[in-house]
Amino acid sequence: MYGMVNKALQEMVFAAHGEKVWDQIKERAGVDVEIFLSNEAYPDAITYQLVGAASEVLQAPVSDLLEAFGVHWVLKLAVPGYGHLMQAAGSNLKDFLVYLPNFHARISLIFPNLNPPRFLCSDVTDNSMTLSYYSDRRGLSSFVVGLLKGLARHFQTAVTIEQTQVFGADSDHDRFSISWP
Ligand code: HEM
């Protein structure tokens, strides 16, 4: 994944726990990178190792960390750093989510080696929809939940998210039922 992912993780841990704790996490992860370059691609394994080590050092479940990271990604990285892309994608939660399947195509223009997630919206009503999430990567459904919660906070919309399908033997994707007032 592009270095911006690891960098954002570092910033989230820095803000909450400081530099020493981040150094501990890197050491436990066996990751010897001083500065992550946003525009450079790093092996996915580095990100997974950092998240796993953070879970051990902070004694928090991986799912909790990934969810918090999703919120952080939207509110601390996407909105302040890519405001124009966020605004172009929609001015409310529903419009943004309907646009989401196309969103990373825009991002691919900036990051040509992106291996983005794929989203599909269905059963769209004025206050609900089904969102299907496809990825070549495993174990990131809590990240998606956090991203959705971050978007809901950004658009100041109360949201209910329920995972109705889980990737596994019976399904090639995760599926979420999302509703708002
Ligand atoms: C301007 C905002 C955003 C940028 C710049 C961005 C960029 C990226 C980048 C660089 C990656 C790593 C993939 C790679 O390097 O191959 C990624 C992954 C991902 N992004 Fe975004 N993203 C943005 C917003 C969003 C939003 C709003 C969602 C909403 C749900 C989202 C969902 C995901 C997911 C789930 C992944 C994990 C990869 C996977 O599932 O395979 N992103 N994104």
Can you give the pLDDT at residue 23?
Answer: 97
The secondary structure of 48-83 as a DSSP string is HHHHHHHHHHHT--HHHHHHHHHHHIIIIIIHHHSH
Can you give the pLDDT at residue 179?
Answer: 98
Contact 8 CB / ligand 1 (< 6 Å): no
Contact 137 CB / ligand 1 (< 6 Å): yes
% pLDDT > 90, the chain = 100
Can you give the pLDDT at residue 54?
Answer: 98
Residue with tokens 């918090």: 68
The closest-lying atom of ligand 1 relative to the alpha carbon of residue 136 is 41
pLDDT band at 157 (very low <50, low <70, confident <90, very high): very high
pLDDT band at 24 (very low <50, low <70, confident <90, very high): very high
Strand arrangement of the beta sheet that strand 174-179 belongs to: 118-125, 128-134, 174-179, 160-165
The residue contributing the CA closest to ligand 1 atom 1 is 78
Average pLDDT over residues 145-163: 98
Q: Which residues pair with 161 in a beta bridge?
A: 178
pLDDT band at 28 (very low <50, low <70, confident <90, very high): very high
Can you give the pLDDT at residue 118?
Answer: 98
The closest-lying atom of ligand 1 relative to the alpha carbon of residue 74 is 27
Can you give the pLDDT at residue 139?
Answer: 98
- Looking at every residue in the chain, the average pLDDT score rounds to 98
Cα of 180 from ligand 1 centre, angstroms: 23
Cα of 2 from ligand 1 centre, angstroms: 10
Average pLDDT over residues 43-55: 98
Average pLDDT over residues 82-94: 98
Cβ–Cβ < 8 Å for 3, 26: no
Cα of 169 from ligand 1 centre, angstroms: 25
Residue 168 carries which DSSP code?
B
Determine the distance from the C-alpha atom of residue 81 to the mean position of all C-alpha atoms in its chain, rounded to a whole number: 15
Can you give the pLDDT at residue 136?
Answer: 98
The closest-lying atom of ligand 1 relative to the alpha carbon of residue 151 is 27
Integer Cα distance of 12 and 54 in angstroms: 11
Determine the distance from the C-alpha atom of residue 15 to the mean position of all C-alpha atoms in its chain, rounded to a whole number: 18
Can you give the pLDDT at residue 143?
Answer: 98
Can you give the pLDDT at residue 100?
Answer: 98
Cα of 115 from ligand 1 centre, angstroms: 9
